[in-house]
A and B are shown apart, each in its own frame.
Chain A
Amino acid sequence: MICVKNLKKSFESSQGTIDVLNDITTNVDKGEKIAIIGPSGAGKSVFLRCLNGLEKPTSGEVFFNGQCITEPGCDMNIIRRQIGMVFQQFNLFPHLTIRQNITLVPTTLKLKSKDEANEIAESLLKRVGLLNKADSYPAQLSGGQKQRVAIVRAMAMNPKVMLFDEPTSALDPEMVGEVLSVMKDLANDGMTMLVVTHEMSFAKEVATRVLFMEKGKIISDDIPEHLFNKSDNARVREFLSKIL
């Protein structure tokens, strides 16, 4: 479904050029749930953002369903409708109600009529237990509730794949669970997911594959049982021993 070839990304800074992604090549098949872990500064988020074009790679190619989306002529706006993204900071639109947050894009892009969009929003909100908040504003919600709405907002576009960029990192600990359970539901429904996370329990329980990134490279690509118990990579073992 997603095919990444020799992806490189570097930033210019006062200390010279920094290579954030250094030659990443990997594949994501339909239905896979991939956890991306690793120390901060490893390039996990940048990698994720390259997949929907929020970052422009310096070189390399990304294919989505066989279409090269790193080509200059590619209409990213069409591609992005099929790739949902959930951010660490939720990024709900504060001037709109929850209902409007969810229906804004489908109606603006004329993908759905107002009534249809509304129906979808309500059924999705019901699924995450937030139907009673439909006409509240984001400021009236807790962090966990906001993130659940953000997931619903992305889901309302009926995406083929969902990208999660540290979805629980900005949450108070007692709210992490409610967001993870929504994500687990999504995984059980067969959604293709890429999740940058520090939640090792999620990586262990839900992921079908775990990518370990460090210094812009994928240094381990493994199934969770193997990675968490008897990884043959010393660096991975060291990292896990620190956080577990």
Chain B
Amino acid sequence: MKKLVNSLLFTLLLTLLFNVVEQNLIKAEDKKQINVATNAEFGPFEYKDGNDIVGIDIDIAKYIVDKMGADINIIDISFDALILELKNHTCDFAIAAMSKNDEKENSVDFSDPYFIAKQDVILPIDSEIKSPGELNGKRIGVHLGTTGDSYCTNNFKDSEIHRYKNGAEAVMDLVNGRLDAVVIDDLPARMLIEKNNRSVKKMDGHLFKEEYRIVVPKGEIELLYRINTILTEMKSTGKIDEIVEKYTKESSKSNNSLINQIYNNLIYKERYMGIVQGLITTLKITVVALIIGLILGVATALIKVSKDNNLLMKFLNIIANTYLSVIKGTPMVVQLFVIYYLILGSSGLDKILVAMISFGINSGAYVSDIIRAGILSVDVGQTEAGRSLGLNSRQTMMKIVFPQALKNSMPTLCNEFINLLKETSVAGFIGIMDLSKAGEVIRSQTYEPLVPLLSVAIIYFSITQSVVWLMSLLERRLRKSDMR
């Protein structure tokens, strides 16, 4: 147990240390540094490739900042937070495939458009839909939170709108007949159609066009002027076309064979590294959460089975009961959000550390029930025997009842560990690159869901199976005393 605690402390310290170093690096401000905010979840405009943020927008931003004679510092934040960041002047400008709308224009200023995105409609190959007008009432898949999403929501009132986290998943559903059409930017659309050219086609013409602009804080006229000048130059010299070309050509090289998909999704650009790092993160979170969960679970279980009736125990009992009912009565994702944004929102703790704590707190409630059931399953005669020999109730619990309870609970605890491991896949919701998220990122880069999904599934499965196997070994050792 001491070793466990030590290694837990070590992990905590390490995470804290990394945090401090990271923050200091960002703070090391140079006069000539320009902070550019983006939301790296919209390939090919901005996305993560391993640990790098790349994409058309990023290259444009780099070119602009370079022209200004400054260094670029890219900040990756959520799409909703971009406007807030600009308002607070915590960044100099934002580039994230954003288009103008009245609501935004009140609080920020927009540059000239640097790219005209057209929303295209992807249809099944045998679809008879010919014009946008026919889409109303059909099942339409869109990319969550994009202009395509709001356009369809506003214009096709009779339609079921299905919102996806990336276009590839929407097209999978289209191919499988769950959708009648997918509305998405023309660039991703072009790639998606190429990948699935036997089963889908593009509807003639565009659904509508939208213009992407760089966004600056309200009133930064000088900056806006400089950006516009550089953009004009980039357009006339063909620089923008060159960048767009660079990011759209890459994927059209590939074809559909499985070997090719494996190469493209795992080996090309060392994409497997993302999965390896995600796996390490997942394991770190699971193991630390398990330890936190065991400590919390055992403590609350002992409080709940205690027969002491003093004021302190009554108080602890109320706390334990509240903890158990709140945690068991709400979904894990909601708990993660509440802890991450509300309770520890201003603490500045590392995301992974927050996840460890959140999953630990969640798991603790279930461990508590498991341990409590284990304790109650031990025959009352055991306690009586211990007490009749002169042990006090605490000694009886620790020396006689608890060891038996733990042994009885082993199989269920093993299940809880497996559940915990799988449950950590929601860590991606607060932007942690865990195993599931790593798969998702590759999917959004390659537009091929099959290989990343299967790889991730196989890895989860192998871990859970090894845990089951290890537990059966451990159980066999613990059952030594039952053999006749």
Contact = CB atoms under 8 A, between A and B. Distances in A.
A137 B390 contact: no
Nearest to A89: B381
Interface in B437-484: 480-484
A95 B407 CA distance: 9
B17 to A, nearest CB: 41
Given A54-B384, A91-B385, A104 B484 contact: no
Interface in A136-165: 137-140, 150, 153-154, 157
Interface string A73-99: 000011011011101010111111100
B404 A87 contact: no
Given A91-B382, A93-B382, A93-B400, A157 B389 contact: yes
Nearest to B390: A81
A229 interface: no
Contact of B388 (A85, A92, A93, A94): A85
A105 B381 contact: no
A68 B231 CA distance: 97
A94 B381 contact: no
Point out which of B382, B403, B481, B484 has the most chain A C-beta atoms below 10 A from its C-beta: B481
A140 B403 contact: no
B85 to A, nearest CB: 59
Point out which of A81, A94, A97, A109 has the most chain B C-beta atoms below 10 A from its C-beta: A94
Interface string B380-394: 011011111111100
Interface residues of A, number: 30
Contacts of B391: 77, 105, 108-109
Contact of A81 (B382, B389, B480, B483): B389
Contacts of A93: 382, 385-386, 400, 404
A78 to B, nearest CB: 7
Contacts of B381: 87, 89, 91
A77 B390 contact: yes
Contacts of A78: 390
Given A94-B404, A95-B481, A137-B481, A154 B389 contact: yes
Interface in B356-399: 379, 381-382, 384-392, 395, 399
A157 B386 CA distance: 12
A108 B395 contact: yes
B399 A108 contact: yes
A89 B385 CA distance: 10
A197 interface: no
Contacts of A192: none
A157 B484 contact: no
Contact of A137 (B386, B389, B399, B483): B483
A80 B481 contact: no
B390 A95 contact: no
Point out which of B381, B386, B400 has the most chain A C-beta atoms below 10 A from its C-beta: B400
Contact of A77 (B392, B407, B481, B483): B392
Given A78-B390, A105-B391, A95 B404 contact: yes
Interface in A84-130: 84-85, 87, 89, 91-97, 104-105, 108-109
Nearest to A154: B389
Nearest to B383: A91
Contacts of A52: 388
Contacts of A81: 389-390
A73 B385 CA distance: 22
Nearest to A111: B390
B440 to A, nearest CB: 46
Contacts of A137: 480-483
B475 to A, nearest CB: 13
Contacts of A104: 399-400
A220 to B, nearest CB: 28
Contacts of A139: 481-484
A23 B404 CA distance: 39
A108 B389 CA distance: 11
Nearest to B384: A54
B385 to A, nearest CB: 4
A77 B386 CA distance: 10
A95 B403 CA distance: 8
Given A137-B480, A139-B483, A139-B484, A54 B399 contact: no
B389 A153 contact: yes
Instruction: Kindly list the 6 A-B residue pairs having the minimum CB-CB distance in the complex, ordered from nearest.
Output: A91-B385, A81-B390, A137-B481, A91-B381, A85-B388, A105-B389
Given A150-B385, A154-B388, 6 more contacts: A77-B392, A95-B403, A95-B407, A105-B386, A139-B482, A140-B483
17 contacts: A77-B390, A80-B387, A81-B390, A85-B385, A85-B388, A91-B379, A91-B381, A95-B481, A97-B481, A105-B389, A137-B480, A137-B482, A139-B481, A140-B483, A140-B484, A154-B389, A157-B389
Interface of A: 52, 54, 77-78, 80-81, 83-85, 87, 89, 91-97, 104-105, 108-109, 137-140, 150, 153-154, 157
